[in-house]
Structure 1
Amino acid sequence: MTDVGIVGAGAGAAAAAFVIDRTVPEADVTVLEKSGGLCGRAATRRHDDLTYDYGANYLKSDDDRVVELITETLDDEGLVEVTEPVYTFDVDGAVSPGRDADEHKWSYRQGLTQIAKRLFGRTDATVHRRTRVETVRRTSAEDAWELDDADGETHGPFDRLLMNPPAPQTAELLRTAEWDDPLRETLVDAVGGVEYGSVWTAVLRYPFELDVPYYALVNTDKEHAVGWISREECKAGHVPDGETLLVVQANGAWSTEHYEDDPAGNVAALADHAADIIGDDRLADPAWTDHQGWRYALPEVGVDGGPVDSARDAGLYLLGDWVAGEGRLHAAIANGLDVGERVAYRI
């Protein structure tokens, strides 16, 4: 019996667990997730009759393995495609067509978290939610890994350990790890060198439907306070007919500057920006709002692959979009599939 421990229940972790379970069914997989949800920044909330993806916006078809996984291997019931295009806007708020290069833009009627839920659901993995890992320990006697959580409980020993949190959180766990190996410091430096951009998101509901030809607007010159605006009503099953639900995401600089500000003020500011960009004054006064700050939203650079590769010899695997070097949902899933295959091969 091989015991596999996974820290974090993001999309990459779910894909890795899925591959390990299919390839090495005798392996025992345990997942420790600090939050109450699954799929990391590919997050979904529900409010009354609304369903909305307020982190990652959709899954794009940019990797053949991921496309096959989502459309063929997994149950595609409830899979919905956004057919409206993505337009652009500049620092002055001028909107133009022509950005939409993604062949497919997918979510689910129940939201993007279905990806991780369906992947974990096809495994025998034990998933502990609201379990924050505080200490990582390498046991020399058993040549294995143990994890201590915030409640003082120890998990393991694990023959293989997979770490899926964002790079800064992974680096901190490795920095404080009880692991007497020169590789640890090298790995901490490499992982800690991955810089992230923050994203502060406002969700805005209106009792009317916008008459615009696009699903979303993206700021291509990176100079506007807003980086992204999308319409959740373009996803079947997310918004009641005749209504609008906007997801407005500030750019990195604005998000960092205002991250700790009063949320009501941030929401009002982003609603004003949305009204100005879309050209509809009604949008400055939403009927209902929600918000979320993502401190570690988008990795700006990839990680040095050398130390990450070397860590595998100690049974330690790092995974996620930051390891793939691209802050996109499909990249996280593809990296998880790759890591799962590497773990299964070594087992």
Structure 2
Amino acid sequence: MSSLRIAVVGAGLAGVSAASALREDDHQVFVFDKSRGCGGRLSSKRTPMGGFDLGAQYFTARDSRFRHALQHWLDSGWVAEWTPRLYCYDDTGLHESPDDQQRFVGLPGMSALPRQLLADVTLTSQTHIERLHPVEPGQWMLEDKTGVTHGPFDRVVVAVPAPQAVVLLEPAPTLQQTVAQISMSPTWTLAVAFDQPLATSVDACFVRGGPLDWVSRNSSKPGRHGSDSWVVHSTPAWAADHLEASPESVTAHLLEALSEVLGTALPEPACTHVHRWLLARPDDKRNWGALAAPELGLYVCGDWCLDGRVENAWLSGQQTARTLV
């Protein structure tokens, strides 16, 4: 196949995976994202107190293709294994978890991996693509929120959360109806740092009760520097019930819940930051892998095409690249 001009809308890991694979096949790839950088839910935030992973906390590797890619990332120093002291918290209290699953994180933050994978790809950030316009046969123009158009492109890959993809897929009604089946749930994330380390052996904890779903000592991850930093995720149900709550209210509630899980009073935080993920995770598992309307030159990928894990975002992007070429 001769070199194509391909637009990828969305710079989360699915879009990054598709874009990097297509670039390796010598296509001209242009990635657009409404955020300031890339990574989507592989999001990291830098602060004077150190970095925080606000989205995905780690990833696992089960598929042989993903494990093969992972080995290259490990050898390149883009990721490292994380071996936290892992606990569970439920109605019986806090206890060690028997889970021995291997876990991996980006270095020095989760967003480092997508940045490395996009090193040779043109990324246009802070550009919110709102519409796809078919022009002459086999050609597409992209219109952003300001009315500026980009293109033409021979193919378009849509790699955004399902509810956002539905809007973009208006020119492909069959794809649009399929993607409209997907619903996604929210999560509130609290990042907090303390001047002195908390007196606990917990590095990570699955929570089964109350407003929290996950707790991690962010500073326990490889390559993280700075103060004793923590990240907690709320449950989707709690987030849905407090969707419009103020950042101050969310911070207070989640700090109280963190104190309860750890079984210790918390000192005054050195800094806090809350982030609302409106589309944090798909509600149901699918086995689609990826979706396509090849006759239109339109392709769709995302972790929600499978079951929402980081690994599946990458696999979905790879499947899209294989289908497209």
Shorter-chain TM band: over 0.9
Q: 1:316 aligns with which of 286, 292, 298?
A: 298
Aligned to 1:95: 94
Alignment of 1:158-177 (within 5 A): 158-174=153-169, 177=170
Cα distance 1:30–1:310, how it changes in 2: closer, same or farther (>3 A)? Answer: closer
Displacement of 1:49 after TM fit?
4.4
Q: 2:272 aligns with which of 289, 306, 312?
A: 289
Q: 2:188 aligns with which of 181, 188, 200?
A: 200
Aligned to 2:84: 84
One-letter amino acid matched to 2:273: D
Displacement of 1:303 after TM fit?
5.1
3-state SS of paired residue (1:237): coil
Aligned to 1:328: 309
Partner Cα separation in structure 2 for residue 45 and residue 33 of structure 1: 17
1:136 aligns with 2:135: no
1:8-42 deviation line (CA, Å, top 9, x unaligned): 111111111111111x21x2111111110201011
Cα distance 1:75–1:34, how it changes in 2: closer, same or farther (>3 A)? Answer: farther
1:194-220 deviation line (CA, Å, top 9, x unaligned): 111110011111122234344211124
Gapped regions of structure 2 (runs ≥ 5):
none
Q: Which ranges of 4 or more aligned residues in structure 1 deviate by more than 6 Å?
A: none
Displacement of 1:62 after TM fit?
2.5
Partner Cα separation in structure 2 for residue 19 and residue 295 of structure 1: 29
Cα distance 1:19–1:231, how it changes in 2: closer, same or farther (>3 A)? Answer: same
One-letter amino acid matched to 1:336: G
| Total equivalences in the alignment | 323
Aligned to 2:37: 37
3-state SS of paired residue (2:293): helix
Partner Cα separation in structure 2 for residue 104 and residue 55 of structure 1: 15
One-letter amino acid matched to 1:209: P
Aligned to 1:7: 9
One-letter amino acid matched to 1:313: E
Displacement of 1:78 after TM fit?
5.2
Using the size of structure 1 for normalisation, the TM-score is 0.87
Displacement of 1:66 after TM fit?
2.3
Cα distance 1:74–1:245, how it changes in 2: closer, same or farther (>3 A)? Answer: closer
1:292-329 deviation line (CA, Å, top 9, x unaligned): 000000111245849x6452332211111001x21111
Cα distance 1:132–1:97, how it changes in 2: closer, same or farther (>3 A)? Answer: same
Using the size of structure 2 for normalisation, the TM-score is 0.92
Partner Cα separation in structure 2 for residue 226 and residue 53 of structure 1: 16
Partner Cα separation in structure 2 for residue 45 and residue 68 of structure 1: 28
The answer as to whether partners of 1:239 and 1:245 remain within 8 angstroms in 2 is no
Partner Cα separation in structure 1 for residue 88 and residue 131 of structure 2: 44
Gapped regions of structure 1 (runs ≥ 5):
none
The answer as to whether partners of 2:41 and 2:55 remain within 8 angstroms in 1 is yes
Aligned to 1:17: 19
The answer as to whether partners of 2:8 and 2:15 remain within 8 angstroms in 1 is yes
